[in-house]
Amino acid sequence: MLGYALRRIVLVIPVFIGLSILVFAIVRLLPGDPVGLAAGPNATKEELAAYAREYGLDRPLAAQYWSYATGLLRGDWGVSIFTRRPVAEDLRAFLPATLELVFAAMVIAVALGIPVGLASAVYRDRWPDYVSRTVALGAISMPRFFLGLLLQLLFAMWLGWLPLSGRFPLIEEPPPLLTGFLTIDSIAAGDWNALSLSLMHLALPAFAMSLSPLAAITRMMRASTIEVLQQDYVLTERALGLSPRLIIWKYVLRNAASATLTTIGLYFGWLLGGTVLVETVFDWPGIGLYATKSILTQDFMPVIGVTLCIGMMFVAVNLIVDLLYGVINPKVRLA
């Protein structure tokens, strides 16, 4: 297992290097003049040249990338042209909000998707199966931003049960900052009112984000369970008279879940990249909203930073999934 883990970790290094080159080149080659926008319409040529020299934009692209890459190794993610704040500080400030949203969405998707997919396979071609397949098909077809707007209209504006947007009420005192996760910080501080407010603000955007992975996990779990139920060893256990509940929980669930684990990992990364729309709709102060504002102002350093950050987390999550897959299925380690 150690050799398998080391091989997987070593393979991540060229992926990070290739990702950084690709992202830096694409963002820097996009049309637009961020220096002109930052300096303002009345800036002189001398002021524009001074801006370009200050941020190293007058150097060749290869030299700019080398400077950026060596800076990353020191923890320097560059500086925003507009705000003049270090990108690393902004990422540290906004990333916990995004991670909290993604974790909440994945918890909803996994907690509902696995049992629903399992029940759909066990009751194949009966009403629970028809209902779950219909709901899953509808869920995976609906755009998240549209679902977010529907949820806001129904639960915030019509019923008034949940807040329309934001992460925490402006008039309330948030819990002391410990991890950046308001739910965890509220529990750590023993502030149950803050925890309730945090969960209420988290509910709608997390559910809007969870629907697509929920549908995918349900479908994958159903397909995997049906495949396992048709294996010879399961048919033999049935012929020996073992309890169907024992067969499902002891033999079928583990094998079916191993294939679903890959889907969970892929969708975790997909959610990280897909937070832009949901955070914009719900005005959620995460890196998705930060990236949207940076794109609108052509502030490319934050855009590169957010893209790299999401890409690195996506690779890291898939690495963890590969390692867990090797634990569940020892045959993978020999491949």
- 202 in Cβ contact with 162 (< 8 Å): no
Cα(138)–Cα(214) distance, integer angstroms:
11
- Please report, in tens digits, the pLDDT of each residue of the chain (335 residues total): 667 777 777 777 888 888 888 888 887 777 767 777 666 777 777 777 877 777 777 788 888 888 888 888 888 888 888 788 899 999 999 999 999 999 999 999 999 988 898 888 888 888 888 888 888 888 777 787 888 889 999 999 999 899 988 888 888 888 888 888 999 999 998 889 999 999 999 999 999 988 888 888 888 888 888 888 888 888 887 787 777 778 877 778 777 777 677 777 777 777 877 788 888 889 999 888 888 888 887 788 888 888 888 888 888 887 787 777 667 666 655 55
Q: How many CB atoms lie within 10 A of CB 115?
A: 13
| DSSP code of residue 284 | -
Tally of CB atoms within 10 A around 66? 12
Handedness of CA 85, 86, 87, 89 (dihedral sign): negative
Q: How many CB atoms lie within 10 A of CB 113?
A: 28
Query: What do you get for the CA distance between the two ends of the chain, in Å?
Result: 12
Report the residue count for the chain.
335
With a threshold of 0.85, does the pTM exceed it?
no
Kind and range of the H or E run holding 7: helix 2-29
Taking the C-alpha atoms of residue 92 and residue 90, their distance in angstroms, rounded to an integer, is 5
Contact, 20 vs 308, CB < 8 A?
yes
Alpha helices by DSSP H, 81-191: 87-122, 127-141, 144-151, 182-189
Write the CA distances from 126 to 26, 116, 213, 235, 292, integer angstroms.
Answer: 50, 13, 24, 21, 45
**Closest by Cα among 231, 95, 88, 204 to 145:** 204
Residues 140 and 216 sit within 8 Å (Cβ to Cβ): yes
Name residue 130's amino acid: Y
